[in-house]
Structure 1
Amino acid sequence: MATDIQHIARTVEAAAVMELLPARPRLLALGEPTHGEDTLLDLRNALFRQLVEEEGYRTITIESDCMAGLAVDDHIASAAGAPDEDEAMERGFSHGFGASAANRELVRWMREYNDGRPAPERLRFAGFDGPLEITAAASPRQALTALHGYLAARVDADLLPCTAQALDRLLGADARWTDPGAMWDPARSVGRSAGAAELRLLADDLAVLLDAQAPRLAAADPRDDWDRARLYARTATGLLRYHACMADPSPSRMTRLVALRDRMMADNLLALAERGPVLVHAHNRHLQREKSTMRMGGRPLEWWSAGALVSARLGEEYAFLATALGTIRHQGVDTPPPDTVEGLLYALPEAECLLDARRLATALHERRPAPRVSPYHGYFPLDPAHLAENDAIVFVRDVPGTAAG
């Protein structure tokens, strides 16, 4: 069977990727089936360098806190007062991704590339996840006060819905918002308190004011300042919506939370697409076009991913490369069964290869590959039923035991 698909396997290179796509995408998404493996990040880094040097890409965004990522962007731009490399790695990533040697190498290369180049040619870094961890959500303070401060410096005071002091009073101690117990016990969340409800209204008023003043502010400010103000507005309103959902005791609570997270991701990706073109890197489950599924707290969850939401808006200007892999032996993921998609790809001689997903689905149609079952909760195999909904498959044969961090 390997010989039947050998002819569609190609080297993982930027030029080969572009040849597979029907149009030049504004968002080129590269997924990974598991987090924390620098082998997959090294492949991402190599592809991004080629996209920069051969295809004119200038921005990469990863599944990390969008507010924290500003520190990395400042560092690679050598902005005044920007954090040094160690601080950028510590402050600029969420989910522990700052501990990755491959992420550090990416940041170092981007800063070196930018050295001496004019602003329009410099590379940009962004996180596109919300300020969220699996067990907690951030306080809306940073985004909300930054949005208020931006507007207070630029519009008449009587247009503002509140003062900075009023915001501070309503926000209270940040620990109220970040209590990890609130993820599993809605009664511990402050998201539906009277103060939180008032903050949601104020955040909405501030976001509307920002939009209403867009013609003047966008023309008067550097593009980066304007883009950051819009990021503050998206993040403040998104976080307050997320906290309100955390306080919801209904059975749909967890489904709504994971959907809200991907909605925040999608909004950030659509904003970044205005810069275009952008390389996006995240888990396959956040980038795929079909519905995402998982079990959490003993319940099955289904929701539309950020990729599905963005694809519905951008059409062919969104492209998704799903990464599949053969083994992660240090996590108990051994040679894949030969009747799975991963097993059939494992029979190919290449350590890494790129395949047209639709041609692969056609080639495997009569074989009807079985779904692979993962013994490791952190790894999600391909779903053979949705193979053709990807634009391409990047296959990595073996992931050696060098987990990031």
Structure 2
Amino acid sequence: MATDIRDTTHAVEAAAVMRLLPARPRLLALGEPTHGEDALLGLRNELFRQLVEQEGYRTIAIESDCVRSLVVDDYVTSGTGTLDEVLEHGFSHGWGAFAGNRELVRWMRSYNVRAERDGRPASDRLRFAGFDGPLEITGAASPRQALTALHGYLAARVDADLLPCADQTLDRLFGADDRWTDPAAMRDPARSVGQSAEAGRLRLLADDLVALLDAQTPHLLAVSPREDWERARLYGRTATGLLRYHYWMADASPARMARLVGLRDQMMAHNLLAVAARGPALVHAHNSHLQREKSTMRMGGMPVAWWSAGALVSARLGEEYAFVATALGTIRHRGVDAPPPDTVEGLLYALPRDRCLVDARRLAAVLGDTLPAARVSPWFGYAPLDPAHLADGDGMVFVKDVLRNWGQRPPRHRSPTVG
């Protein structure tokens, strides 16, 4: 059995990943079972460099605020700002504090500088994207920034008579931003403004502005760079998504949390489809946001289930979406010791490799009808592999031991879902 399992493993390299797939995917999703470990961020960075240099990938998309990430993209493409400023302001959830993310941004900027110096076309430059919504565990951002940015883009380029409102109207309807960001609203629906008359009016105006953006596409692309139009579409997706999220924050029904976690991943999926339209990209996020099967968790003692961004995108893209999960052996500084030998992680932990790429479907075939035991983590921040869905991914990366990050603060976990 051990020899057969060893035969399902390979070095963790881009070329080996591609050999597991029927064709080069437009979105190659690399999941992680926990957040904030630089060993996993370093592996991600190494794989991205190989995908860039060997497979023509030019974009990386990570689980960070899609609007704030524009700061990072501006830096890596044109050098706007400083690296320290970008790490502070361009990442959500504290991700800018991690050495792996600093190294990623630094390398991407250096690559683009070299590309410009060598006279390569703009299409060859690397791009950065966040695909999460502006959401935190304490609530959601005000939709003001996204909706006013969309309105400003349109107001500068289309006949004023076509606009559904003036910017002053938006400002009056939004009121003070702390009404939208009140952390108490996450636990108490009555504290949310999402179903107020003003919020209802804003949802209609946001819908009209997005419709106008779509209807004026030929004109807008003729009078402004495509990049500006794509950002306006991002603002539109974000504004409508946030307004919808706030609406359901004000809901008191038993399905409230299931709706919220589902809406978050729906926003993620829409952003990933926009990334895919630009060209092949590596996607990095928690396994639960990228897997094809339904995601589940318990909140307040109650089960919550939702379709992940990966499941939604896979349904649209088919073989152009690929998912490689990551599983771990130990995270001893978190109390996660060696896995039991009858689990998938335990079988892989017994092999001599420190890390490996696993042909997950072949491994499932080798194991046959005897399903390995499900591992139970003593730490809430690590989600073990579900052996029942071993064959549902396109591959799996196994890292034997994750060592402590020195000199790093732990990540802030976010919105009401794992990851």
Partner of 1:97: 95
2:339 maps to which residue?
336
Deviations 1:250-276 (A, max 9, x none): 000000000000000000000110111
Shift of 1:200: 0.4
2:417 match: none
2:324 paired residue number: 321
Deviations 1:141-188 (A, max 9, x none): 110000000000000001000000000010111111111111110000
Aligned counterpart, 2:167: 164
The DSSP-based 3-state class of the residue aligned with 1:368 is: coil
> Which residue identity does 1:241 align to in structure 2?
R
RMSD: 1.0
Conservation of the 8 A alpha-carbon contact between 2:157 and 2:223: no
Q: Report the Cα distance in structure 1 between the residues aligned to 2:323 and 2:123, rounded to whole angstroms.
A: 26
3-state DSSP of counterpart to 2:340: coil
Of the structure 1 ranges 110-119 and 144-153, higher mean CA displacement relative to structure 2 is found in: 110-119
Identify the residue that residue 173 of structure 1 maps to in structure 2. Answer: 176
* Among candidates 140, 144, 160, match of residue 141 of structure 1: 144
Q: Distance in 1 between matches of 2:124 and 2:50?
A: 15
**Mapping of 1:347-362 within 5 angstroms?**
347-362=350-365
CA distance in 2, matches of 1:209, 1:296: 39
Do the aligned partners of 2:185 and 2:191 also contact (CA within 8 Å) in 1? yes
Equivalences for 1:89-238 in 2 at 5 Å? 89-116=87-114, 117=116, 118-238=121-241
* Matched residue type, 2:310: G
**Which residue number in structure 2 is paired with residue 241 of structure 1?**
244
Give the equivalent residue in structure 2 for 1:22. 22
Tell me the SS of whatever aligns to 1:178. Answer: coil
Separation (CA, whole Å) in 1 of partners of 2:183 and 2:205 = 25
CA–CA separation in structure 2 for the residues paired with 1:326 and 1:195: 51
Cα distance in 2 between the residues matched to 1:146 and 1:352? 45
* Cα separation, 2, equivalents of 1:219 and 1:322: 42
Aligned to 1:3: 3
Using the alignment, how far apart are the partners of 1:394 and 1:202 within structure 2?
A: 45
- Can you give the 5+ residue segments of structure 1 that lack an aligned partner in the other structure? none
How many residues are treated as equivalent by the alignment? Answer: 403
Displaced runs of 4 or more, over 6 A:
none
Identity level (%): 75
Amino acid at match of 2:227: D
Is the partner of 1:60 in helix, strand or coil?
A: strand
Distance 1:23 1:185 in 2: 48
Aligned to 1:382: 385
* Paired position in structure 1 for 2:414: none
CA apart distance, 1:367: 3.5
TM-score, structure 2 normalization: 0.95
**CA drift at 1:135:** 1.8
Cα distance in structure 2, aligned partners of 1:232 and 1:144: 6
Letter in 1 for 2:267: M
Per mean C-alpha deviation after superposition, the further-off stretch among 15-24 and 282-291 is 15-24
- Aligned pairs for 1:238-317 (under 5 A) are 238-317=241-320
Unaligned runs of 5+ in 2: 410-419
| SS at structure 1 position matched to 2:385 | coil
CA distance in 2, matches of 1:133, 1:292: 19
Deviation of the 1:366 alpha carbon: 3.7
Partner-residue secondary structure (3-state), 1:300: strand
Instruction: Tell me the amino acid that sits aligned with residue 249 of structure 1.
Output: A
Q: TM-score, normalised by structure 1?
A: 0.98
